[in-house]
């Protein structure tokens, strides 16, 4: 896979924001397989003719089947400041999803306690007293209905838990198209129909607001999404 596997959205001396394609892990594969991080490091190395190891800190990550904005820091100072923004929940995270069924109510806030099942590599909704349980909060609103009895949603993420959007929607019987892990019976061309559309941050050095937006994958346009 080459640099064309990712699209650069924003780039300066402090940040690199890219649009991740479906099927590519953000980071963490130990067997030499390519990840978004290894491709991005190679891109920086070639573009700026940097010898040796390139520093890139992953500030936001996406599950392999999910598309959209991933933010990387080009310096440790930027990484630290951005991580503080994410921890302090001052980052505005907007996702788009296509789910099975006509979602009702058309707008709601979802709040659950979720815990990880490492053996099956998935998350479950649990009671708040379960060991390791963390609160997961999001808001959604239906932007429209699409063919094949589906809903097009905008999601504002208030916490950043693993598989959070996938689990919370599936638990309400509106699984994301293509997400077999969480009960979807419907196919999706590549990955699943979940897209990290927009990240709004404060630039870690300039201190100015920065809006990072990923283009919509072709599969969405082919399905009838016209935002």
Catalogue the active-site residues.
63
Whether residue 14 is preceded by a cis peptide bond, meaning omega within 30 degrees of 0, is no
- In this structure, which long-range contacts are made by residues 149-152, counting pairs with CB atoms below 8 Å and at least 24 apart in sequence? 149/100, 149/101, 149/102, 150/98, 150/99, 150/100, 150/101, 150/177, 150/186, 151/98, 151/99, 151/101, 151/102, 151/103, 152/96, 152/97, 152/98, 152/225
C-alpha dihedral sign at 207, 92, 131, 180: negative
Residue 188: Cβ within 10 Å count: 20
Name the 3-class secondary structure at 140: strand
Q: DSSP letters of 196-218? A: EEEEEEE-TTT--EEEEEPPPPH
- Relative to beta strand 67-73, strand 194-202 is parallel
> Across-strand partners of 108?
140
Name the 3-class secondary structure at 166: helix
């Amino acid at each position: 896979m080459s640099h064309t596997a990712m699209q650069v959205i924003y780039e300066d001396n402090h940040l690199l924001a890219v649009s991740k394609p479906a099927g590519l892990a953000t980071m963490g594969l130990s067997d030499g397989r390519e990840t978004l991080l290894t491709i991005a490091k190679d891109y920086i190395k070639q573009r700026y003719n940097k010898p040796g190891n390139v520093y890139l800190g992953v500030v936001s990550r996406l599950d392999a089947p999910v598309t959209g904005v991933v933010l990387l820091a080009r310096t440790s100072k930027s990484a630290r400041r951005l991580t503080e923004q994410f921890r302090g929940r001052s980052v505005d995270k907007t996702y788009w999803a296509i789910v099975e069924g006509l979602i009702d109510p058309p707008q709601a806030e979802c709040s659950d306690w979720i815990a990880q099942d490492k053996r099956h590599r998935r998350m479950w909704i649990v009671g708040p007293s379960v060991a390791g349980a963390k609160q997961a909060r999001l808001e959604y609103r239906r932007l429209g209905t699409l063919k094949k009895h589906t809903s097009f949603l905008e999601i504002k993420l208030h916490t950043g838990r693993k598989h959070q959007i996938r689990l919370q929607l599936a638990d309400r019987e509106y699984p994301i198209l293509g997400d077999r892990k969480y009960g979807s019976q419907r196919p999706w061309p590549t990955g699943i129909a979940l897209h990290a559309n927009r990240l709004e941050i404060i630039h870690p050095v300039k201190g100015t607001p920065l809006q990072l937006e990923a283009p919509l994958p072709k599969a969405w346009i082919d399905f009838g999404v016209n935002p």
